[in-house]
Amino acid sequence: MHFDFSAALTLATFITGLIAGVYWLTQRKRDHKNSKEPVLVEYAKSFFPVLLFVLVLRSFIFEPFRIPSSSMMPTLLIGDFILVNKFSYGIRLPVVNTKIIEIGEPKRGDVMVFRYPKNPSLDYIKRVIALPGDKVGYFDKHVYINGQRITQKPLGLYEGVGQGSNMTGALLQNESLPTQEHDILIMQGRPSIEGETVVPEGHYFMMGDNRDNSNDSRYWGTVPEENIVGKAVVIWMNWDADNNGINWHRLGSAIH
C-alpha cells in the first residue's frame, strides 16, 4: 500500500488549522483570560504553523527526493538525496497537481521528476529527451530527434562505486542534446529496445542516463504534462552504506 505523504500533510494542515480557527472564532468574544485551552486546541495551535510552512515549502518551492535505483547513473547515484524545484514548470495545487500559474516548460536535457503514467502513486526521475511534436527514435544505442542523430563522444570505461559498482566496465559517453550535454552509460553487449514515435502534444519523452538499465518512455510511452512534479536541481546529500556512508564530494552538486 502506497502512503501519499502529500495528501496526509495537506489533510493534517487543514484539520489543525480548522480546530485552531474554530476555537478562536468561538472564544474571541468571551472573556477566558484565566481559562485553560483544551489539549487538542493547544496541539492544533502548535502544529498548524509548522505544518503550513512545510506544506507551502514542499508543494510550491522545493521537495526532497531520494534516488533508489541506478537508472540515472552516472548523473545520479543510488543514495543521492536531491531537491526538486516545484515552480520551474508552473505552480500546481498539492494532491490534485493542477497547474494554476504558468511559469515555464520542460526543455530537452532537463532532469525531471514525474508521476509514473502507469501508476501515478509512484514518482520517477528521468531526463527529458524529446518535446511535444518531436519525432524521436532510438536505434543502435543512439537517440534520433526529428531525423537527426544525437552525437556521442566516448569518455572511456565507467568505474562504479558502492551500490552502483555493478556498472563498472560500462561505456561512459558524453551525449549532446541541443543546448544540453550530459554523460550516459551504455552496456555494449546488451540488447536494447528500438523504435520511433512522434511525441503527442502535451507529452514528453523521457529516458534514463543509464540507457540499458532504465524503465522509461521506450517501454511505456510518453509522460503527460499533468504528471509533472518538478525539475531536479541539486544533490544535498548522498548516503551509500556500500561506499562508506556519506560521499562528501557530491553534496551541493548541481544536476545537469
Q: What pTM was estimated for this model as a whole? A: 0.85
What's the CATH superfamily of 67-254? Umud Fragment, subunit A (2.10.109.10)
Query: What's 102's DSSP letter?
Result: -
Active-site entry in 59, 71, 88, 214: 71
Strand order in the sheet with 171-177: 152-157, 171-177, 180-186
103: its cell numbers: 511559469
pLDDT of residue 38: 85
Annotation says 176 is catalytic: no
Q: What is the rounded CA–CA span in Å between residue 236 and residue 26?
A: 45
Active-site entry in 126, 214, 217, 231: 126
Q: Which of 89, 76, 104, 106 is nearest to 182 (CA)?
A: 76
Sequential pLDDT tens for the chain (256 residues): 456 777 787 888 889 988 888 888 887 666 555 567 888 888 888 888 888 888 887 778 889 999 999 999 999 999 999 999 998 898 888 777 788 888 889 999 999 999 999 999 899 999 999 999 999 999 999 999 999 999 999 999 999 999 999 999 999 999 999 888 999 999 988 988 999 999 999 999 999 999 999 999 999 999 999 999 999 999 999 999 888 889 898 999 999 9
Q: Which of 145, 112, 141 is nearest to 212 (CA)?
A: 141
Annotation says 126 is catalytic: yes
Residue carrying the nine cell digits 564530494: 249
